[in-house]
Amino acid sequence: MSRTLTGPVPASTLWQAKRASPDYQKAWFSAPAILLIAAVFVIPLAIVLLQSLYREGFTLQGYEQILGSTLFWRILRTTLEITLEASLISLLLGYPVAYFISQLNRTQRAIAMIFVLLPFWTSILVKSFAFIVILGEQGIVKNLLRQLLSYELSGSMVFNRIGVMVGMVHFLIPFCVFPILNNLLAQPPELRRAALIMGASRRQVFFRVTFLLSIPAIVAAAAMTVVLSIGVFVTPALLGGRRDMMVANLIDYYTREALDWNMAAALSIMLLAVSGALIWVLSRVDNADRH
């Protein structure tokens, strides 16, 4: 790669200028990462794509079968519902956590981070079983209410959508806290101080300075939670009810039980397309915000 590739920088925003002039010498350093991604991601993905079009010869049968099945549309709807609900709740709960941690001093922050990281390090299977113990009929929550307040909580907290949400949000919150916290810590404190000096109330400082500056991080966190939750299947299977079936569960069925890898591949590609579309929408939000 030569430097001549780098043309004159168009007069534009600083942000765009940074993107338009990459240092091609340094690009070599990313070669190992690119090779790794190609070997373990791009090539397998291409194989999945081929498999989705191949059943004793080229065919679109898999896609036709999927688009024509009511089962798929029902499951896709559930998947999108669960994905969006879980992402939204995680963001709503994760943001205050990130904000709180950003206000702490170094030692306090380290301790707080451990609490965020603990669930992040725990296996999703273990967490799901733990939630059955905590939220179940004879679980800690219901028993405490019974013994302390002699109050019988009607309705279940697990094996329905509530259980799925608790499990998913618990899993997703660290992925919201990290990017948002990173952003909040990187914000120059002078901006807030300046706003205060100019007579803004604390509330105004938050909504008109801190929050606005953190929107890119919120979008990044949303993208992460959407991608992660659209492919989830353990949590709904263990904590959900009979209606909480995800597309990933259907892929699992075609892969392991029906052994119809053409259908499984076609479903995977469709799921990828759906999550790609969601990410695209999110990136539009991000761009709209920048200009």
Partner 1 sequence: MQHDPTKNSRRNPTSTVQGPSRRRFLTGVAAAVSAPAIIASGKASAADSLVFVGWGGTQQKAYDQICLQPLAKEIGVTLINAYGPDLAKLKAQVTAGKVEWDIMSLTGAMALGAQREKLLEPIDYSIVTNASDLTLPKHEACLPWYLYWGGIGYDPKRHPPGKFPTTWPEFWDVKRFPGRRALRNRPDEILEVALLADGVQPKQLYPLDVDRAFRSLDRIKPHITHWIAQTQQTVSLIQSNEIDFNYVYKGRVLAAQEEGASIEIADEYPLVSTTLVAVARGTRNKKAAMQLLNGLLRPDMQAAFVNGLPGTGIVTRAAASKLSPAVLKVLPDPTSPKVAINNDDWWADNYQKVALRFKEWLLVG
Note the residues at the interface with partner 1 (CB under 8 A): 43-44, 47, 50-51, 70-71, 74-75, 78, 132-133, 136-138, 156, 159, 237-238, 241-243, 245, 250, 253, 255-261
Closest CA to 53 of 230, 255, 261: 261
Could you tell me the smallest distance in angstroms from the CB atom of residue 138 to partner 1?
Answer: 4
Three-state SS across 227-282?
Answer: HHHHCCCHHHHHHCCCCCCCHHHHHHHHHHHCCCHHHHHHHHHHHHHHHHHHHHHH
Q: Which residue type occupies 234?
A: V
> Do the Cβ atoms of 186 and 158 come closer than 8 Å?
no
CB of residue 74 vs partner 1: minimum separation in angstroms? 5
The DSSP line for 130-150 is: HHHHHHSTTSHHHHHHHHHH-
Contact of 196 with 210, CB cutoff 8 Å? no
Nearer to partner 1 among residue 238 and residue 278 (C-beta): 238
Report the nearest approach of partner 1 to the CB of residue 262 (Å). 12
Distance CA 50, CA 35 (A): 21
CA distance 247 to 230: 8
* Nearer to partner 1 (CB atom), residue 59 or residue 210: 59
With respect to partner 1, which residue has the nearer C-beta, 173 or 264?
264
Q: How far is the CB of 137 from partner 1 (least distance, A)?
A: 5
Identify which of residues 78 and 214 has a Cβ nearer to partner 1 in the complex: 78
45 or 104: whose CB is closer to partner 1?
45
Contact 94, 88 (CB under 8 A): no
CB closer to partner 1, 152 vs 190? 152
* Residue closer to partner 1, measured from CB, 21 or 156: 156
Q: 78 vs 229, which CB is nearer to partner 1?
A: 78
CA proximity to 220, closest of 95, 38, 121: 95
CB of 48 to partner 1, least distance (A): 10
Q: Which residue has the tokens 């967490």?
A: 127
Measured from the CB of residue 136, what is the shortest distance to partner 1 in angstroms? Answer: 5
Beta strands in 20-67 (DSSP E): none
Q: Can you tell me the distance from the alpha carbon of 67 to that of 248, in angstroms, rounded to the nearest whole number? A: 16
Question: Which token pair is 173?
Answer: 């919150």
CB of 164 to partner 1, least distance (A): 13
Q: How far is the CB of 127 from partner 1 (least distance, A)?
A: 15
Q: Where does residue 216 rank: exposed (0-12), middle (13-18), buried (19+ CB within 10 A)? A: middle
